[in-house]
Amino acid sequence: MIAGTDAQAIVDEIMRRLGRNVNLMDGRGVIIASGDRDRVGEVHDGAARVLRSGVPLAVTGAEAREMRGTRAGVNLPVRIGAEIAGVVGVSGEPAEVGDLAGAVALMTELMITQQAMRAEAEWRARTRDQIIADLLAGRLTAAQWRQRLRLVGTRPAAPFALYALRPGLDVPADAMGAAELLYRRLGSGEEQVLAAVDVTGTLWAVAGAAAPASLRGRLQEMRRERKGACLLDAGTAADFGALLENVRRGRLALRRRTLPSETTLRDQETSVLLAELPDEVGGAAGERILGALPADLRRTLWAYFTHDRHVVQAARELNVHRNTLVYRLGRIADLTGRDPRVFADAVALQAALYLADLG
C-alpha cells in the first residue's frame, strides 16, 4: 500500500474529481489519508472487517455508532494484483454513495499502480545513473557489472559498443531528459542498452551485441537536436575489461573543449595521448609552442589542420581569400618559429592546439 504524502495526494485527487470525502486505510485498517486530516492514524473497524473478509462493507450511520473510528459509508478492498493492499472508504449513507464506491475503488487502484510504476521508473533511472558513475570511475568488476545490470533488467552482452553524447559547452545539461528520450526512441530494444547521464551532462550508452541497429541513428538525431553537441563513437569492446579501457579513453577524448559534431576514438588518438600528460606539463608545453599567438591565428590553425592542411578548403571555412590564408600561415611561422606548412612543425603546432584545448 502506498503511504504518507503519496496516499494523501491520491485521496485529495479523488475528492477533487468526485466531491466526496474519502478515506484510505492500510493493511492494518489504520487511516493513512483522509479528507478529514484529524482522522489520520485512527483504527477503522469497518476497514478491519473488509481486510478479514475480502468483501465490501456498507455501514449506515446507525451501525457506525457501534464501531470504532467508523462513519457511515461504503468500504471496499483495494487490490493490487492478487493482494489486498488496503481499503478505501467513501463517506455517506450507503444508499447515496453505493454506486460511486466501486468507481472510487477502481480509481484508487489505478492511481496506486501509477504511483508505484513512477517510483519504479525513478528507482531504475537512479540505479542506472549510479552504474554509469561507477563504470566511469572504474569501480566495477566484471561480476559487479553483471549483478548491477540484473538489478535494472538490462542485459547488454559482449561485444559492447560505447557511445557518449556530450552537450554543447554553453548549453545547460538536461540530465534526466537525454537518457529517457533515448529509451523512448529505442522502444522494445531498450533492454540491450544501458544509458545514463554523468555529472557533466554527457549521456553515456553501452550497447550489447543484440542492441537495435537504430541506436547510432537515434543518438545522431539527439545530437542534431542539441546545439553544439558532440557524439563520440568510442568503439567496440570484446569483454568487460576492454570496455573499461574504452571508457577511460573516451573520458580523455572528451576533455577537449573543441570537438567535431561526430567523432571516434580512432580520430581522437592524439588527443587521448596528450590528455594523459599531467596538466602542468601539457599546459606549459602548449603555451610554450603557441606563445602569444592571437585568437584569430589560432582559429586559422584549427581550420588548416581540420582540413588536413588543404589551403583552399580551410580558406573557404574561414570565409577568406586563399592568399589571405597563406599570409596568415606566414605570420604564424614568424610568431612561433614553426611553419605549419612543414610537417614536423605542423605536428608540434597541432599538439599544442590540442593541449591548449583540454578542459
Q: Is 108 helix (H, G, I), strand (E, B) or coil?
A: helix
pLDDT at position 85: 87
Cα 131–chain centre separation: 12
Taken in order 179, 181, 182, 188, the sign of the CA dihedral is: positive
Whether residues 348 and 243 fall in one domain: no
pLDDT at position 88: 92
Residue 134 lies in a domain: no
Whether residues 248 and 311 fall in one domain: no
Q: Which three cell numbers stand for residue 241?
A: 575489461
Q: Which three cell numbers stand for residue 350?
A: 597541432
pLDDT at position 68: 87
| Domain-ending residue, one of 120, 151, 186 | 120
Residue 66 lies in a domain: yes
pLDDT at position 23: 92
Single-letter code of the amino acid located at 102: G
Is-contact 43 141, C-beta < 8 A? Answer: no
Bridge partner list, 140:
none
Q: Which residue has the cell 546545439?
A: 227
Rounded Cα distance between 183 and 75, Å, is: 41
Whether residues 344 and 296 fall in one domain: yes
- Could you state, in chain order, the average pLDDT of each consecutive group of 10 residues for the chain (359 residues)? 76 86 91 90 92 91 87 90 88 85 85 78 85 93 90 87 88 66 78 88 90 88 90 95 96 91 92 84 81 88 90 92 92 90 90 82
Whether residues 260 and 202 fall in one domain: yes
Whether residues 297 and 194 fall in one domain: no
The CATH number linked to 212 is 3.30.70
pLDDT at position 188: 64
pLDDT at position 274: 87
Q: Which three cell numbers stand for residue 49?
A: 472487517
Residues in the chain: 359
Rounded Cα distance between 60 and 76, Å, is: 15
Cα 256–chain centre separation: 23
Whether residues 151 and 259 fall in one domain: yes
Domain that holds residue 87: 4-120
Whether residues 251 and 289 fall in one domain: no
pLDDT at position 266: 92
Helix/strand/coil percent split, the chain, to 5: 55, 15, 30
Residue 316 lies in a domain: yes
Residue 125 lies in a domain: no
Whether residues 31 and 55 fall in one domain: yes
Q: Which residue has the cell 517510483?
A: 119
Whether residues 53 and 165 fall in one domain: no
The CATH number linked to 315 is 1.10.10.2840
Whether residues 177 and 228 fall in one domain: yes
pLDDT at position 6: 82
Q: Which residues contact 271 (CB under 8 A, 6 or more apart)?
A: 252, 253, 255, 256, 354
Q: Is the pTM of this model over 0.75?
A: no
The CATH number linked to 86 is 3.30.450.40
| Domain-ending residue, one of 120, 151, 177 | 120
Residue 137 lies in a domain: no
Helix (H) or strand (E) holding 101: helix 94-136
Q: DSSP letter at 167?
A: P
Q: How many domains does the chain have?
A: 3
